[in-house]
Amino acid sequence: MARTGDTRSRSRGAKVRVKTARRRSASSARWLERQLNDPYVAEARRLGYRSRAAFKLAELDDRFGFLKGAGRILDLGAAPGGWVQVARMRAGPDARIVAVDLLPVEPVGGAEILELDFMADDAPERIRAALGGAADVVLSDMAAPATGHKQTDHLRTMALLEAAYDFALEVLAPGGAFVAKVLRGGTEAELLGAMKQHFETVRHVKPPASRKESTELYVVATGFRPELSKS
């Protein structure tokens, strides 16, 4: 796994400029230029990761070590599968990994992919059956499709986080970890406060692979205490 410094140094060089064209808007040109000049995108391609987001999970795990030794891992909103790849590599060959998404996810060796809505009525039973027991780690890198309206995007993504958190409370084993994306925007404080009542430690982190201009943070909650979630 490449470290952040290695990722940046390998990809240095002349910056690529992208011009607008007849069928390319200014915003599309800016997005393409950012992609072409992003060292994490280049390194993900070189290492065979499906997205640059794989480095975010790797960096969080470098710091907090929640994947090593985990016997059962659940990844909610797993497409395109970058987090599944990192979890498979780091948790060990005997770990059972279940990935869930509404969209198709290309197979990852040693992981079970479920194409379903984890909020559907039959989802909990299907996911528990696939896990074969309580999860040691629940992951979520979900974000709602962008509308261009920051407050709307924040509220929709936070609703996904709340759903993932509620599901984690149901399936996590004692001492388990919940790792998920959070968008700063004013409504996250109450949910993060609730997490502190159910986990021994809750940290807010912006991994180096997260773009500086992004409002995203990641919550790393460890030491799940199930007796408190039922009170």
Q: Which residues pair with 181 in a beta bridge?
A: 218
Q: Is 181 a residue of the active site? A: yes
Which tokens hold the place of 24?
A: 């390319």
Catalytic hit among 15, 150, 181, 212: 181
DSSP state, residue 22: T
Going along the chain, which residue ranges are E strands? 72-76, 96-101, 111-115, 135-140, 172-183, 199-205, 216-224
Q: Indicate which residues carry an active-site annotation.
A: 181
